[in-house]
Amino acid sequence: MEEDLYTDPLLAQFYDSASQNRVDFEYCLGMAMPGMSILDLGCGTGELAVGLAKLGAEVTGVEPAEAMLDIARGRDGGGLVTWVQGDARNVRLERKFDLVILTGHSFQVFLTAADQLKLLASIAAHLALNGRFIFDSRNPDFEALKGRKVDDNIRSLEHELHGQIEMWNRSDYDEDSRILTYENGFRIVATGEEHVAGAEILYTKQRDIADMLAASGLCADE
């Protein structure tokens, strides 16, 4: 059965276990300074937003999925962050931030150029003068992606509520649309219960991203 990766409360519970060794989090944490205002778009379960707030930054996290936000609000330090349920394409908080972040390849959940441009307009609307926007998008020219049809792998993880779980990914990359369709599967070993969620992400070429940034009034620093 296909369930939604972010909106299903049980699947949201697996997100943190499945998402470890986050170099993007380390990078953003290295930018934080006490008093700095930070907008975390697509903040998911809020691990990074709370980490930034604990360093003294004033953080707002925006996320559409209630299930992800519930975990964010409930985590240790969750009260330090202002959480907003919203869509990064049209949220307008009527204020500016020193730093806007969009981590964990969230840029790639926007599947059309029109949506990417709406997202970038929203970012431009929230950036203070000389503010910075940090995001990541995976490289469509990465050789291992070419011809990739299915990547089936099983790994064991420890989950704080469910004990040992097994996780696997399957994916299918379409070189014409540059959309990767993938499934994440989870099995709770103690009960045998399985949950599978599918999603799609778009791989955008660097020069297209550069063009869109410029069209949105943003200037690429790095």
Ligand X SMILES: C[S@@+](CC[C@H](N)C(=O)[O-])C[C@H]1O[C@@H](n2cnc3c(N)ncnc32)[C@H](O)[C@@H]1O
User: Where along the sequence are the contacts to ligand X (CB under 6 A)?
Assistant: 6, 19, 41-44, 63-65, 68, 87-89, 103-106, 109
Shortest distance, position 19 Cβ to ligand X, whole Å: 6
Q: Which helix (H) or strand (E) holds 85?
A: strand 82-85
What's the rounded Cα separation, in Å, for the pair 186 and 75?
22
Shortest distance, position 43 Cβ to ligand X, whole Å: 6
With tokens 């959309």, the residue in question is 179
Query: Closer to ligand X at the Cβ: 63 or 98?
Result: 63
Of all residues in the shown chain, the one whose CB is closest to ligand X is: 104
What's the rounded Cα separation, in Å, for the pair 222 and 217?
15
Query: Closer to ligand X at the Cβ: 188 or 197?
Result: 197
Three-class SS state of 95: coil
User: What are the backbone dihedrals phi and psi of residue 12, each rounded to the nearest 5 degrees, phi first?
Assistant: -60, -35
What's the rounded Cα separation, in Å, for the pair 222 and 219?
9
Shortest distance, position 9 Cβ to ligand X, whole Å: 13
Q: What is the CA radius of gyration of the chain?
A: 18
Shortest distance, position 192 Cβ to ligand X, whole Å: 27
Query: Closer to ligand X at the Cβ: 52 or 213?
Result: 52
Shortest distance, position 113 Cβ to ligand X, whole Å: 15
| Amino acid occupying residue 106 | S
Query: Closer to ligand X at the Cβ: 41 or 50?
Result: 41
Query: Closer to ligand X at the Cβ: 28 or 165?
Result: 28
